[in-house]
Amino acid sequence: MRNILSHILEIANNERISIGAIEKKIGASKGVLSRALANGTDIQAKWLQRIVENYPQYSSDWLLTGQGEMLRSAAHHHQQPDADYDLLKELCDTQRKLIGSYEELLEKMRAKSY
């Protein structure tokens, strides 16, 4: 199964720009996306949100899940903002829960080391 990072790389290829150019456009520090691509690590939900905001011609469903067409039609772009928002909100909520779980685990590990 392909992942979000491979979809971001596909956007860069389709736009004929570098990953660095995407980083700059979304306001990410140089290397945020390229390091994640190189290391196969996750990126923060805020970067996904900014990609969706800055590249509205690409389907957020496709970016996040690989489902459907990569490029959305002009009609679809105007019909689906609520669905896109809901999907991104769900992704952000999931990431917040995951971060909370990691923070709890860190606290437990700190408590054991004293």
SS3 71: strand
Q: How many CB atoms lie within 10 A of CB 77?
A: 15
> What burial class does residue 111 get, using C-beta atoms within 10 Å of its C-beta: 0-12 exposed, 13-18 middle, 19+ buried?
exposed
pTM confidence score: 0.63
Predicted confidence at residue 81, as pLDDT, reads 61
Predicted confidence at residue 109, as pLDDT, reads 86
Q: How far apart are CA 20 and CA 80, in angstroms?
A: 29
Q: Assign domain 4-113 to its CATH architecture.
A: Orthogonal Bundle (1.10)
Q: What is the pLDDT along the chain (114 residues), one digit of tens a residue?
A: 358 999 999 999 999 999 999 999 999 999 999 999 999 888 999 999 999 999 999 999 899 888 899 998 754 544 556 667 777 777 787 888 778 888 888 888 888 876
Residue showing tokens 């392909």: 2
